[in-house]
Chain A
Amino acid sequence: MATRATNVRGWFDDRFHLDDLKALAKKKTVPLHRYSYWYFLGGMTLFLFGVQVMTGALLLLYYRPGADEAFESVQFIMTQVQFGWLIRSVHSWSANLLVFMAFAHLFSVLFLRSYRKPRELTWMSGVLLLILMLGFGFSGYLLPWNTLSYFATKVGTEIPAQIPVIGRPVLLFLRGGEDITGSTLTRMFGLHVAILPAIATLLIVLHVGLIQWFGMSVPPGVEAAWAKNPGERREIRFFPNFVLRELMAWYVALGLLGTLAALFPWTLGVKADPFAPAPAGIKPEWYFLFMFQTLKLIPAKIFGMDGEMLGILAFGVVGAVALLLPFLDREKPFHTRRWITGLACVFLGYMAAMTVYGWVAK
Chain B
Amino acid sequence: MTVWLVAACLIVCAVLAAAQTKNSCLDCHSNLPEPLGVSVETYSQNIHAQKGLTCAACHGGDATADDPEKAMSRSAGWKGKIEHKQVPELCASCHANAELMKKYNPGLRVDQFQQYKTSVHGQRWAKGDAKVAVCTDCHGVHELRPPSDPRSKVHPTNIATTCSRCHADAEYMKPYGIKTDQFAKYQESVHHEAMTVRGDLSAPTCTTCHGNHGATPPGVANVTNVCANCHVFQAQLFATSPHKAAFAAAGFPGCVTCHRNHGIKHPGDHMIGMGEKAVCKNCHVDGDAGAQQAVTMHDELATLAAAIAASDELLTHAERQGMEVSQAKQQETQARDALLKARVTVHTFSEKELKKDTDAGLAIAKQTHAAGEQAMVEWRYRRVGLGFSVAAIALVLVGLGLYIRNLEQK
Contact = CB atoms under 8 A, between A and B. Distances in A.
Q: Real complex partners, A and B?
A: yes
B323 to A, nearest CB: 8
A245 B404 contact: yes
Contacts, number: 53
Task: Please report whether the interface of chain A is mostly helix, strand, loop or mixed according to DSSP.
Answer: helix
Given A251-B393, A258-B386, A258-B389, A264 B400 contact: no
Contact of B400 (A78, A79, A251, A262): A251
Nearest to B394: A255
Contacts of A267: 322
Contacts of B404: 241, 244-245
Given A251-B400, A252-B397, A262 B407 contact: no
B407 to A, nearest CB: 7
Task: Please report whether the interface of chain B is mostly helix, strand, loop or mixed according to DSSP.
Answer: helix
Interface in B353-410: 382-383, 385-386, 389-390, 393-394, 396-397, 400-401, 403-404, 407-408
Contacts of B383: 262-263
A263 B400 CA distance: 26
A183 to B, nearest CB: 27
A175 to B, nearest CB: 29
A255 B326 contact: no
- Sort chain B's interface into a size bin: 20 to 34
A262 B393 contact: no
Interface string B125-155: 0000000000000000000000000000000
Nearest to A254: B393
A248 B397 contact: yes
Contacts of B385: 262
A240 interface: yes
A85 interface: yes
B105 interface: no
Contact of A85 (B324, B394, B396): B324
A336 interface: no
A247 interface: yes
Contact of A248 (B323, B386, B389, B400): B400
Contacts of B393: 251-252, 254-255, 258
A88 to B, nearest CB: 10
B20 interface: no
A245 B400 CA distance: 8
Most buried by B among A252, A255, A267, A268: A255
A265 interface: yes
A-B CB proximity, top 10 nearest: A262-B386, A255-B393, A265-B322, A78-B324, A262-B382, A248-B400, A79-B324, A244-B404, A258-B389, A251-B396
Given A240-B407, A262-B383, A264-B322, 6 more contacts: A78-B324, A248-B401, A251-B397, A255-B394, A262-B385, A263-B322
7 contacts: A79-B324, A241-B407, A248-B397, A252-B393, A255-B389, A262-B383, A265-B322
